[in-house]
Amino acid sequence: MDAQAFREFGKAAVDFVADYLENIRDHDVLPSVEPGYLLDLLPKQMPETPETWSEVLKDIDRVIKPGLTHWQSPNMHAYYPTSVSYPSIVGEMLASGFSIMGFSWICSPACTELEVVVMDWLAKFLNLPQHFLHENEGPGGGVIQGSASEAVLVAVLAAREQAVRRLRLSQPELSESEIRGKLIAYSSDQSNSCIEKAGVLAAMPIKLLPAGEDLVLRGDALKHAIEQDVAAGLIPVICIASLGTTGTCAYDDIESLATICEQNDVWLHVDAAYAGGAFALEECSELRRGLERVDSLNFNLHKFMLVNFDCAAMWLRDANKVIDSFNVDRIYLKHKHEGQTQIPDFRHWQIPLGRRFRALKVWITFRTLGAEGLRAHIRKHIRLAEQFEDLVKADERFELIAPRALGLVCFRAKGDNEITSQLLQRLMERKKIYMVKAEHCGQLFLRFAVCGMDPKPSDIEFAWTEIESQLTSLCAEQQVNSRKAGELSELTHHLSGLHLTNETLQR
C-alpha cells in the first residue's frame, strides 16, 4: 500500500468509525451470532494475492461488525465503562503513525517526556499528594501501564523483591528460597480478580480478607490476619486495597489500613481502576482520604477519563523501589543521559521492554477537552446513575443492594434470587441492554453501570423501561404458570377422586 492509498483508506476508515459511533443506538448492544460464526465466513488461508482496501472495509461491515458487542453503546451497562473520545482515537492513530518504541529516553525523547508531563498533569488534576509528581525531583512519579492488572502486578513484584532484599539483611540465617516461601500478601474478598492473579503470577499467596457487611476492608481485619500469619512464621509483604471494588464500587478504609501497613513494614497499594476519576471532584474529596500514606496506586484512564484502552496510570511514592527490583540491563540499552531525574527510562517501571506512545492520546484528549470537560464527563455519569437510582427506589418491586457509588447502581428484584436471575436471562436474550450479575451475602444482584461514549438521560429511561417492563411480563407469566399449575393439580386431585369412585363401583 502506498501513501496515496493509505490516505484514501485512512479517510474512509475515519468516516466508517464516525458513522459507527454516531449511529451506535441503531444496534442491539449484544450481537446475534453463534459461537464459530466468523470461522464459517472467512477462508481458511490468507489470500495469496493482495486484495483492495475497499474489499477489506466492506468485510469489516459484513463480517466483523455483526460479531461486536457494542461497548460504546449507551445501552451497555455491564462491567465498568471503557472510555473513548474522538480526540483519543486520533491520538491512537497518530501514535500508530509514528510507531516508535519508548522504552528508554533516547528511543524517543518526546515519548518519555510527554509521559512525564501528562502524568504530572493528571496527578494534579486528581489532587494526588505532591510526592507522586515527577516535578518534585524524585523519588516518586507516574507511569502509564497497559492495564490495572499490570500496575497491580508491578506493585506486587516490586514489594516482593524489596521484602526479599530487606529480609536477607535482617535475617541472614534464612536462605533466599526460605524467605520466598514465607511471603504473604493481602487484599479484600471484594477486590478485582486481577489481584488474586497477580499473586499467582508472583508466586506469592494473596489472602482475601473478609470485607465487612458494608463490603469495606478495614485495618482491624488486616491486623488480625497479619498477627496470625506472623505467629505462623509467615512474612507479610503487601496489602492491595481497593477504592471502588468491581462488584459494588465499595471503598476500603485506606487510613486504618495504612496504619497497620506502616506498623508492619507492609507496602500499601491502592487499586482505584474505576473510582480514581472521582478524585478530581471536590464533592468526592472524601475518597482521597489517606492517599498520602500509600506506596503506589493505579487508575484506568480507559475507564473514566475518555482515553481509549489501553491506558492505566500508576503512581509510585518511591519509583526507585521498582527500578531497583526490575533493573536488568544490557549494553545496547544504555545511553548517555540515563539516570537523570525527570527523564526516566520507563522500561524499568514495567513488565515488557517495548512500550507504546500512550501519552500522545492522553495529551491530545486532555488538551481538547480541558480539565473542565473531564470533570463534566465524570459528573454526567454520576447524574445519570442518580437518575437510575431514583427510578429503582420509586418502584417497590426492586431494592438497592448497596448505596449508589459514582456511576454504578447495584439492585435486584425483591424476593428470591430466581426472579433476578430470570430477569437478567430475559434481558440478555432480548439484547437491548447489557448488564452483569454479582452476589453479596447469598443475594444475587444486577450491576447497572453508566457506560458508552455519550450516554443521555433518555438512554437511562430506555434501560429502565426495558428492565421494569420485562419484570412485569415475567411476573405475569409466572402468575399464569402458577394458575395453570394450580388448575392442573386440582384436576389431578379430582381425577384421582373419580378413579377411587370407579374402583369402588367396580368392587
- Where in the sequence numbering do the catalytic residues fall? 192
Query: Pick from 393, 397, 409, 388: which is nearest to 473 by CA?
Result: 397
472 within 8 A of 92, measured Cβ to Cβ: no
> Residue 146 CB, nearest distance to ligand PLP (Å)?
8
350 binds ligand PLP (CB under 6 A): no
Can you read off the three cell numbers belonging to residue 406? 459514582
Taking every pair of Cα atoms in the chain, the longest distance, rounded to a whole number of angstroms, is 111
448 binds ligand PLP (CB under 6 A): no
69 binds ligand PLP (CB under 6 A): no
Nearer to ligand PLP, 227 or 439 (CB): 439
273 binds ligand PLP (CB under 6 A): yes
Q: Exposed (0-12), middle (13-18) or buried (19+): which is 491, by Cβ within 10 Å?
A: exposed
Binding residue for ligand PLP, selected from 246, 350, 365, 470, defined by CB under 6 A: 246
Residue 398 pairs in a beta bridge with 413
Query: Pick from 355, 370, 368, 304: which is nearest to 90 by CA?
Result: 368
Binding residue for ligand PLP, selected from 300, 365, 420, 470, defined by CB under 6 A: 300
242 binds ligand PLP (CB under 6 A): yes
Length of the chain: 507
Please state the separation of Cα 495 from the chain's center in Å. Answer: 59
Nearer to ligand PLP, 75 or 145 (CB): 145
> Residue 308 CB, nearest distance to ligand PLP (Å)?
12
9 binds ligand PLP (CB under 6 A): no
112 within 8 A of 105, measured Cβ to Cβ: yes
The label of the residue with cell 500522545 reads 360
Binding residue for ligand PLP, selected from 192, 256, 296, 365, defined by CB under 6 A: 192
239 binds ligand PLP (CB under 6 A): no
> Residue 258 CB, nearest distance to ligand PLP (Å)?
19
Phi and psi at residue 272, to the nearest 5° = -120, 45
- Report the distance separating Cα 166 and Cα 183, nearest Å: 12
112 binds ligand PLP (CB under 6 A): no
Single out the segment in contact with ligand PLP by CB under 6 A; choices: 155-163, 242-250, 280-288, 483-491: 242-250
388 binds ligand PLP (CB under 6 A): no
The label of the residue with cell 533466599 reads 176
| Positions in the binding site for ligand PLP (CB under 6 A) | 79-80, 147-149, 192, 194, 242, 244-246, 271, 273-274, 300, 312
